[in-house]
């Protein structure tokens, strides 16, 4: 299978995705922001705060978060109307950039304002040229082909209670949820997987991220990453049950991953990076050279 | 395998367990309380409020909850010191009873006050004679051989962060958690299973119960029941990781069950009752005659 035929994994290209479950540390160790800085390689890093209904504070918090790191100029990208995403002046903000970081808010703002515009095209180019595309919270959900929009937390999924929409499709064959353990979102993730077990469910805790290259990812940060694989499901009631009925779903395979774990999206199999990679730092070199 | 050799399932005996995830409806449909009433068969039903640090209100809320149902006299059982559990006057409260219902509170109160006393012995007799033993919230946890006591909710399990203790052992080979989806407790349930995959993890939502007879259970109520089976786990970090490290656990099998689902504890397999049982009402008859 060539990269172009890939069913599950990052969009073909030379870039890296950093998909974060929200509330990444902006003080102290800052493993996640440090990884984004490293992957952007010292060139301009664009903080896309477009998911937010108000502009205030997001950009400044990332200026603080990235302070003292070997990162190039930080530039805010904010649009409030779709025509701004086609404005050459907006595109200028991405000149020379090697990374784009989508902050949190409403994933539908990202897709409805920038999808299918020259701005989105330019972001894809940055990725294709080997840059880093990062996203946290809403910025994480939006990475998928089909993204979660709304669904109840802290409840077992009830038939009909989840809204999904087409996302930016930087990663294929998965559906991502964020603030995962913190907001008790196992129910809605399983609800999504039940509807089509082709997609692998990935739930990412706060201050935790998956770093996706090609068809595998590594986990970084302090929390857990849950992978719900529906390949072996033997029974599901999502099609026959009435709206509001509680989910019945038999035979999900569940993995809990934490920092240092790797996951092979193509073979749906967890593992750990080889010792050689861990000790020689090859992982970083690969990340920067791809 | 005879009943006495059973590794996973209810304590051998003729009784039924109703294990509830907390907040069972006390108005409206009341499926769960109705099932407890039915199983107690019109004889005295003892409401054991011993888990509660204060006596106030619990018994009265169950008087209201069971009102209008075909249930015998409701009697409150409350002890505040261990010697009350050996007092013949306390035992009198259980005379002629065919059911005991443990309300919520602190599971350690139940075990530390009544375990290994004539009172506990009398409760086991009620079960052995075919009665119903029900428990909600703390009263659910306490049913296990090894019960959960404290552990953080809404967080992925961190090594060393879960406290367990010996329970009343009405059900073997499982560990039960309650208020499950509502309090985001998947993390701590998986933490318990990781420590010994011999035990099957069962997470029960609010207003939801498992009705256990022999080595299988049926789900009733409005929410979900999660069964985490660690038989096929390929990797776990609970033994090597440092205290506070985030769980890594590969290859759990997860089932989400809802009303109408049945689970075979012996074979760790979900299923549904046969149509014959569902239509003829055999299920109820079996429940009352065993």
Q: Which value, in Å, is the radius of gyration of the alpha carbons in chain A? A: 18
- Give the mutation candidate from B21, B153, B182, B187 for the A interface (greatest A CB count, under 10 A): B187
DSSP secondary structure, A151-208, as one string = E-SSS--BTT-EEEEE---SEESEEEE-STTTTT-HHHHHHHHHH-TTSEEEEE-TTE
Q: Is B152 on the interface with A (CB under 8 A)?
A: no
Q: Is B231 on the interface with A (CB under 8 A)?
A: no
State how far Cα B232 lies from the chain centre: 25
- pLDDT score for B276: 55
Q: Which two tokens stand for residue B192?
A: 């318990």
Q: Which two tokens stand for residue B242?
A: 């440092």
Q: Given B181, B246, B247, which is nearest A187 (Cβ)?
A: B181
How far is A60 from A66, CA to CA, in rounded Å?
Answer: 10
Q: Is B235 on the interface with A (CB under 8 A)?
A: yes
Q: Which value, in Å, is the radius of gyration of the alpha carbons in chain B? A: 18
Identify the three-state secondary structure at position A124.
Answer: helix
The total of structural domains in chain B comes to 1
How far is B74 from A273, CA to CA, in rounded Å?
Answer: 61
**Considering only CB atoms, which chain B residues are within 8 Å of A235?**
270, 272
Helices assigned H by DSSP within B66-210: 88-92, 107-114, 118-128, 138-141, 186-195
How far is B13 from B129, CA to CA, in rounded Å?
Answer: 7
Q: Is B214 on the interface with A (CB under 8 A)?
A: no
pLDDT in tens, B31-41: 999 999 999 99
- pLDDT score for B142: 97
**Considering only CB atoms, which chain B residues are within 8 Å of A220?**
none
Residue B204 gets the label, from left (phi > 0), alpha (psi -120 to 50) or beta, of: beta
Residue B290 belongs to a domain: no
How far is A40 from A132, CA to CA, in rounded Å?
Answer: 6
Q: Given B183, B255, B259, which is nearest A250 (Cβ)?
A: B255
Assess contact for A135 and A126: CB atoms under 8 A: no
Contact assignment for A258 to B156 by CB distance below 8 Å? yes
How many CB atoms within 10 Å of residue B128?
13
- Give the mutation candidate from A190, A256, A267 for the B interface (greatest B CB count, under 10 A): A256
Chain A to chain B, count of Cβ pairs less than 8 Å apart?
A: 131
Helices assigned H by DSSP within B129-281: 138-141, 186-195, 275-280
Residue A23 belongs to a domain: yes
How high is the ipTM of this complex?
0.84
Residue B287 belongs to a domain: no
CATH of the domain at A140: 3.40.50.880
**Considering only CB atoms, which chain A residues are within 8 Å of B260?**
248
- Give the mutation candidate from B161, B240, B258 for the A interface (greatest A CB count, under 10 A): B258
The stretches in chain A having pLDDT less than 70 are 1-6, 274-290
Q: Which residue has the tokens 């689970």?
A: B263
Residue B168 belongs to a domain: yes
Q: Is A181 on the interface with B (CB under 8 A)?
A: yes
How far is A110 from A104, CA to CA, in rounded Å?
Answer: 10
The stretches in chain B having pLDDT less than 50 are 1-5, 279-290
**Which DSSP symbol is given to A243?**
T
pLDDT in tens, A127-173: 999 999 999 999 999 999 999 999 999 999 999 999 999 999 999 99
Please give the angle made by the CA atoms of A52, A56 and A62, to the nearest 5 degrees.
85
Q: Which two tokens stand for residue B147?
A: 């019960």
Contact assignment for B224 to A237 by CB distance below 8 Å? no
**Considering only CB atoms, which chain A residues are within 8 Å of B220?**
none
Locate the chain A residue with the closest alpha carbon to B221.
Answer: A246
Residue B24 belongs to a domain: yes
Residue A61 belongs to a domain: yes
Residue B125 belongs to a domain: yes
Paired strand residues for B133: B17, B100
How far is B222 from B242, CA to CA, in rounded Å?
Answer: 39
Active-site residue, from A155, A161, A182, A277: A155
How many CB atoms within 10 Å of residue A82?
14
- pLDDT score for A284: 41
- pLDDT score for B32: 98
- pLDDT score for B213: 96
Domain with A33, as residue range(s), is 3-276
Residue B113 belongs to a domain: yes
């Amino acid at each position: 299978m060539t990269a172009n035929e890939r069913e599950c994994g990052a969009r073909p290209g030379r870039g890296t995705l950093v998909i974060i479950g929200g509330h990444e540390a902006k003080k102290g160790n800052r493993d996640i922001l440090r990884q984004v800085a490293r992957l952007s390689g010292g060139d301009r890093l664009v903080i896309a705060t477009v998911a937010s209904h108000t502009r205030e504070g997001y950009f400044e918090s990332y200026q603080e978060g990235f302070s003292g790191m070997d990162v190039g100029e930080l530039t805010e990208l904010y649009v409030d109307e779709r025509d701004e995403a086609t404005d050459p002046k907006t595109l200028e903000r991405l000149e020379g950039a090697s990374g784009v970081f989508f902050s949190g808010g409403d994933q539908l703002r990202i897709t409805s304002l920038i999808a299918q515009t020259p701005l989105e095209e330019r972001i894809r180019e940055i990725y294709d040229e080997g840059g880093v595309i990062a996203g946290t919270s809403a910025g994480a959900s939006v990475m998928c082909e089909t993204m979660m929009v709304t669904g109840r937390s802290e409840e077992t999924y009830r038939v009909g209670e989840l809204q999904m929409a087409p996302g930016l499709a930087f990663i294929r064959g998965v559906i991502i949820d964020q603030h995962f353990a913190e907001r008790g979102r196992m129910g809605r993730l399983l609800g999504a997987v039940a509807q089509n077990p082709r997609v692998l469910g990935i739930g990412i805790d706060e201050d935790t991220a998956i770093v996706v290259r090609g068809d595998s990812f590594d986990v970084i940060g302090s929390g857990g990453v849950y992978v719900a694989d529906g390949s072996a499901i033997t029974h599901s009631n999502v099609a026959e049950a009435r709206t509001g009925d509680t989910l019945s779903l038999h035979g999900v395979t569940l993995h809990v991953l934490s920092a240092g774990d790797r996951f092979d999206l193509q073979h749906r199999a967890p593992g750990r990076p080889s010792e050689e990679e861990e000790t020689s730092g090859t992982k970083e070199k690969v990340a920067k050279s791809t």
